[in-house]
Structure 1
Amino acid sequence: MGDVEVEKPFIRPFHTPPAYLTAQTKKVATSFKEELESVVQPVKISKHADQRIQARNIQIQPEEWQLLEKKMAEAKKMGITDSLVLMKNAALIVSTKNHAVITALERKEASSQIFTNINGTIVID
């Protein structure tokens, strides 16, 4: 006997479209400031930096710390990992990667120093 070919009916597979095609996405416009504030974390101060701040009696106001937090977040977004921060009364070496102050010195003391292993500078006056 000859081979008999039986034609099988085509069954369309049940397919659910991905959620991103069916659900309407909400695009909420957020300002850069709002986005930045959501990322801002408190700055950690290393033991070494804390000792130097105390020993040198460096005064940094709460508003300056808040501004430093924001500037560190901005610098991190730009790819800066280690930065020199120049303030009115202080110069700080910070790690944006760890969101920490590594060391501190008086601003006038910083004017005669060479800083290495940094890839950005933040000036806060």
Structure 2
Amino acid sequence: MLVGHLAAARPGPVTGIRTYPAQSDGGTTAASHADPSFEQLLAQARLKFSHHAEQRLQQRGIKFQPEQIDRIASALDQAEAKGAKDSLVLFRDIAMIVNVPNRTVVTAMDGSSMREHVFTQIDSAVVVS
């Protein structure tokens, strides 16, 4: 079974993507109480999960804490700086295929699910400590 095969993007509406914005510094201003627009939320998003990835995470009981999301997003910053497009991201015993320019986790699996799998259509691998 091949895992991580990424098909060409298809035009259409974006659905089922959850975003995780960068952590706030805790400061409050009048502007911070206003509801941000969708475009502003997308611009602030450090990491997004496709509907497929969310399903896999839920099926496999994988949950991330905000600080873990930040560590993964920081690792993606480094991968992006090196020109990565589609990366295998390894975090503890979790493997994720991430589209780096879109900052979107395409799929995810735990250690037992990734045994004897071949990851294709990636140009880099990132190990998050």
Deviations 1:57-77, CA, capped at 9 Å, x for gaps: 113222221011111111011
Q: Tell me, in whole angstroms, the C-alpha distance in 1 between the residues paired with 2:112 and 2:126.
A: 16
Residue 109 of structure 2, aligned match among 91, 105, 110 = 105
Q: Distance in 2 between matches of 1:111 and 1:66?
A: 27
Is the aligned partner of 1:95 residue 2:99?
yes
CA distances 1:25-79 after superposition (whole Å, capped 9, x unpaired)? xxxxxxxxxxxxxx98420110000011011111322222101111111101101
More strand by share: 2
Runs of 4+ aligned residues of structure 1 deviating over 6 Å after TM superposition are none
Q: Confirm or deny: 8 A CA contact 1:40 1:70 kept in the other structure.
A: no
TM-score for the superposition, normalised by structure 1: 0.64
Aligned to 1:64: 68
Report how many aligned residue pairs link the two structures: 87
The higher radius of gyration belongs to: 1
Report the TM-score when normalising by structure 2.
0.62
Aligned to 2:80: 76
The residue correspondences of 1:17-96 to structure 2 (distance < 5 A) are 41-96=45-100
RMSD across aligned C-alpha pairs, in angstroms?
1.8
Determine the C-alpha separation between the residues in 2 that align with 1:50 and 1:56.
Answer: 10
Q: Which runs of 5+ in 2 are unaligned?
A: 1-42
